[in-house]
């Protein structure tokens, strides 16, 4: 079983913001897999399905970004997920808009959602997919909660679709193949 978690903040006011790219990828995956991420559990919304013989859980934590770890830990405990079978999808200030990177492990990189997950799991060696949102020209909190410009949105739409394809590659072929095929710049 593979578990794919997209980080974001609940509430319509955060929809389509830079910080909600993880949620957008989960929505795109749900569309591709023809499922609805509406079942409430694990302090979030989830769906369970299969793709090419692999069971897949999609999760959107509803704990707000800074407490995402509580939701992820509940999911891991319930499904007895191997941490190498979890993919966390989230926004990254260190990458330009259009860049996406799969990694096998790493630190939180200052991302509060990732800090929470690492703290709750007590482990940082799990796959992740980082999606570039660019560096802020103004206050960081305001920036991550802002929307993309029209020009950026064209790139981000491609990133979301490519990230969803990459997440399915991860689910079926593993993190090495996802890194080889999808670590690209789309700007």
Q: Which residue spans within 25-123 are E strands per DSSP?
A: 39-41, 44-51, 54-61, 86-92, 99-103
**Cα(92)–Cα(166) distance, integer angstroms:** 17
- Catalytic residue, candidates 2, 18, 19, 130: 19
**Cα(139)–Cα(105) distance, integer angstroms:** 28
* Residue closest to 77 by CA, chosen among 108, 43, 127, 29: 43
Helix (H, G, I), strand (E, B) or coil at 2: strand
Active site residue 19: yes
Please list the active-site residues. 19
């Amino acid at each position: 079983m593979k578990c794919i978690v997209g980080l974001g903040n609940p509430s319509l006011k955060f929809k389509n913001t830079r910080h909600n790219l993880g949620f957008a990828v989960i929505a795109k995956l749900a569309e591709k897999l023809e499922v609805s991420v509406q079942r409430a559990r694990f302090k979030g919304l989830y769906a369970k399905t299969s793709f090419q013989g692999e069971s897949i859980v999609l999760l959107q934590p509803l704990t707000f970004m800074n407490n995402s770890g509580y939701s992820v830990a509940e999911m891991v405990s319930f499904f007895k997920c191997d941490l190498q079978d979890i993919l966390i999808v989230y926004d990254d200030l260190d990458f330009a808009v259009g860049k996406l990177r799969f990694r096998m492990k790493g630190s939180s990189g200052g991302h509060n959602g990732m800090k929470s997950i690492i703290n709750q799991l007590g482990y940082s060696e799990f796959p992740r997919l980082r999606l570039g949102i660019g560096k802020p020209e103004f206050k960081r909190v305001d920036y991550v909660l802002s929307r993309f410009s029209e020009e950026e949105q064209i790139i981000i739409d491609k990133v979301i679709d490519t990230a969803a394809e990459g997440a399915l590659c991860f689910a079926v072929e593993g993190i090495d193949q996802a890194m080889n095929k999808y670590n690209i710049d789309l700007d």
